[in-house]
């Protein structure tokens, strides 16, 4: 399995419980394979659920399992939430001490859904769909933050969307390789490593901040929210690669052009950030006038949705909206879609991208305290409103 082949008589014993289909992904962490769990009592036509098996590369020192894999296992074993990816099993191939994690398989992610709408459909995502996706993302993130976990690498490709099965259209936050535990309420995290893919990296990190909180995740959610609206990254800077942890002037420039120049008056702790203090490449003197943010994201400036997005992209992390507060924002709780059927308690929310099969699932919006039913499309977004 380590080389991607799906056959062979020397498979480890644990692999016998899976029907291997093939390799479906590859990244810096290793490889991902698609498999099916074999049913306990095989019968014609009976198939087990699809499983994603993630094989980790060994540590850079070549002396065992990578710290990234250990961190992911430790966190995922303690996490249990509908909007967070589920770790099904952990396997070790003792022949080469390689590590495999088995997850429930998600057919889609937000990156491919956004790209599908941009390149294939040439149309925006239905606003009710955006609202549903955003609510689920915040719901999962609120669970993580409530348990003192910061994800630190939220981006569209790490937000999975379930395909076939009982969880059609359900969002799953995935990839916990950079996640960390707070250790104590309100205690900022200090870390010297680079976190968060650059387009979704909060300004306090870009300006050299080493102490930070869950607010970095909320900045990333704001970037994802804007991308769902416009079908393209909001702050698409060019990353500087050298030296290690370099000053990312182009990314800051992209942010300032959209949101305007930050000031110490609006963000008092700005003056304490290393890159701002050093005034590297004279960033304090740059002026950005009339950014017109609402025009970029196609939202009226006085709309509830624009207010929510602006609060997610607040420069000062201490003022940035939290996941719990965002879930109670009027954008997500004051109005149901036009097809909200109060008689039957059905909310027709279109949540995923593919065939026309529909399933219904019990759904609760905590801020309203009302139980309702959501109809999910299994793969394609259909505008039925």
- Of 169, 135, 166, give the one whose Cα is nearest residue 365: 135
- Residue 145, classed as helix, strand or coil, is helix
C-beta separation of 221 from 138 below 8 A: yes
C-beta separation of 174 from 85 below 8 A: yes
Torsion of the alpha carbons at 270, 177, 189 and 110, rounded to the nearest 10: 40
341 part of the active site: no
Burial 280-310 (b: 16+ CB within 10 A, else e): eeebbeeeeeeeebeebbebeeeebbbbbbb
- Hey, what are 62's tokens? 């070549």
Asked, as a colleague might, if the bond just before 133 is cis with ω within 30 of 0, I would say: no
Rounded Cα–Cα distance for residues 59 and 81 (Å): 29
- Largest Cα–Cα distance of the chain, in whole Å? 71
- Residue 61, classed as helix, strand or coil, is coil
- Of 310, 316, 311, 219, give the one whose Cα is nearest residue 267: 316
Burial 91-129 (b: 16+ CB within 10 A, else e): bebeeeebbbbbbbbbbbbbbebbebbbeeeeeebbebb
Of 63, 96, 109, 153, the catalytic one is 153
C-beta separation of 294 from 300 below 8 A: yes
Annotated binding site for ATP, which residues? Answer: 55
Sequence-separated contacts (24+) of 183-187 with Cβ below 8 Å: 183/148, 184/148, 185/148, 186/213
Phi, psi of 134 (to 5 degrees): -65, -40
C-beta separation of 308 from 321 below 8 A: yes
* Residues designated catalytic: 153
């Amino acid at each position: 399995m380590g080389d991607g082949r799906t056959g062979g008589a020397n498979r480890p014993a644990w692999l016998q419980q899976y029907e291997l289909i093939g390799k479906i992904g590859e990244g810096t962490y290793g490889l991902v394979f698609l498999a099916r769990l074999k049913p306990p009592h095989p019968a014609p036509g009976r198939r087990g659920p699809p499983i994603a098996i993630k094989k980790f590369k060994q540590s850079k020192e070549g002396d065992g399992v990578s710290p990234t894999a250990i961190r992911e296992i430790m966190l995922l074993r303690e996490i249990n939430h509908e909007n967070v990816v589920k770790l099904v099993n952990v396997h070790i191939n003792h022949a080469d001490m390689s590590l495999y994690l088995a997850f429930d398989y998600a057919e889609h992610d937000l990156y491919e859904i956004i790209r599908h709408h941009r390149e294939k459909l040439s149309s925006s995502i239905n606003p009710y769909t955006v609202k549903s996706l955003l609510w689920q993302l915040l719901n999962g993130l609120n669970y993580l933050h409530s348990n003192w976990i910061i994800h630190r690498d939220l981006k569209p490709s790490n937000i999975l969307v379930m395909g076939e099965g009982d969880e059609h259209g359900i969002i799953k936050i995935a990839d916990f390789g950079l996640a960390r535990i707070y250790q104590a309420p309100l205690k900022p995290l200090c870390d010297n490593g680079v976190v968060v893919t650059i387009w979704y990296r909060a300004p306090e990190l870009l300006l050299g901040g080493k102490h930070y909180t869950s607010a970095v995740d909320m900045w990333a959610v704001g970037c994802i929210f804007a991308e769902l609206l416009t079908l393209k990254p909001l702050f698409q800077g060019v990353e500087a690669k050298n030296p290690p942890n370099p000053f990312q002037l182009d990314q800051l420039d992209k942010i300032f052009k959209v949101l305007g120049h930050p000031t110490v008056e609006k963000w008092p702790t700005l003056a304490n950030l290393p890159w701002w203090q050093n005034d590297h490449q004279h960033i304090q003197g740059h002026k950005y006038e009339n950014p017109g943010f609402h025009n970029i994201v196609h939202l009226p400036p006085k709309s509830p949705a624009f207010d929510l997005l602006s609060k997610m992209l607040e420069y000062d992390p201490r003022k940035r909206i939290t996941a719990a507060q965002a879930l109670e924002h009027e954008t997500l709780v004051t109005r149901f879609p036009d097809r909200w059927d109060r008689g039957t308690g059905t909310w027709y929310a279109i949540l995923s991208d593919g065939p026309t099969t529909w399933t219904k699932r019990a759904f609760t919006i905590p801020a309203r305290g009302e139980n309702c039913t959501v109809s999910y499309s299994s793969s394609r977004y259909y505008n039925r409103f």
